[in-house]
Amino acid sequence: MVRVKQDKIMAAFKQDALRILSTSGRTVAEVAADLGIGKSTLQRWKSDAAETELLSGPHPDVEKELAWLRLENKILRQERDLLKNAGGLLRQGDKSMIYRLIDAKKATIPVRCSYRLLGVSSSGYYAWKQRKLSLQKYVDMILLAHVNQYFTLSHETYGSPRMHAELKAAGLSCGRHRIARLMRDNGLKALMKRRYKKTTDSGHGGPVAPNLLDQDFSTEGSNQKWGVDISYIWTAESWLHLAVAIDLYSRRVVGWAVSDRMKKDLAITNLQRAIATRRPKPSFVHHSDRGNQYCSDEYQKILKAHGMEISMSGKGNCYDNAMVETFFKTLKSELIWRTIFLSRLQAERAIGTFIDGFYNPTRRHSALGYKSPILFEAAA
């Protein structure tokens, strides 16, 4: 009890000492001498009181400091974003593109800060502002707008050769190297990956046909040679298997089917759809691998009933069915590996849209003179 009373007396004395120090205008040494306490003690009380006041709540000086720090952080973020956007332009050394970036960002970051950060002069920037756009730059801007449009429509898969063919077909006169430069300067690059999963089971006792195709994929017209195969697509519900039939003349997908299991029913459904769509005449070549789906009695009966000549790849030789393998590579690099499918139904719909809405009617093939399969057949 006595100790508590002493603490209260000391706290009151300390408060009086600090009040005298703050209102009298006298020095710490003078007030300490008058009160009979040490100078260092009074100085410590003063420092402790100042720290307590600073941490106790809003203070004009603290608010000013916080406001300044917030502004400084905002400017630093703007400068960071500007340097990030200008990284490629600085490496290319194209000052007109740098000036265009400064002009586009002037609403968020002052021009004087921008040209200081990017290492260009203010006189150069203002001279660029007054200078009329050259004809070459003007045409580049028009071409780039079309390039961006077709790049998006191709699911960001077209490189400069196909893009050049697309622009020419649209009536735009331009060189391939110019398109390559525009795509390179603006970061329009198709990225592709590769994965692998075995889908062929040739360890069976079914009949194996000779390789009539023998890697000769040339044809003089549609429905003379078909290639068929089965591949896979991973979804959150596990694997979805895709069977396709390709007309080797136009690379057109003439039949496709999907299933959660890689059984003979999948191959049969695909074949029946292709036959119903194309109604081929007898004596054309049907080429597949040696998978048990294609060697089953039911599948072989359908082939013979329609007068098809049966051809099968050599054991373990994927090059014997290179046309279909090429299609699967295109499908996976341009759609499958770029997408996370939550269900098999979602994957099936995406595949249908890709094949029937893009690959067959629109996608340009270098082997077809940069025509789509449907356009190539129509022009034949």
Does domain 225-378 fall under CATH 3.30.470.10? My reply is no
How confident is the model over 153-174, as a mean pLDDT?
80
Regarding pTM above 0.85, the answer is no
- H-type helices in the chain, by residue range? 2-24, 28-35, 39-55, 60-92, 95-105, 111-117, 122-130, 135-153, 160-169, 176-185, 264-278, 292-295, 297-305, 322-334, 344-354, 373-379
Residue that is written with structure tokens 């896979």 in the block: 232
pLDDT band at 204; cut points 50, 70, 90: very low
pLDDT at residue 6, as a whole number: 65
Domain ranges of the chain: 1-55, 60-130, 135-186, 225-378
What letter does residue 222 receive in the DSSP assignment? Answer: T
- Backbone φ and ψ for 227, nearest 5 degrees, come out as -120, 135
* C-alpha distances out from residue 164 to 34, 300, 372, Å: 93, 44, 14
Give pLDDT tens digits for 302-341. Answer: 999 999 999 998 876 777 888 899 899 989 888 888 888 9
Give pLDDT tens digits for 4-32. Answer: 566 676 777 778 777 777 777 778 888 78
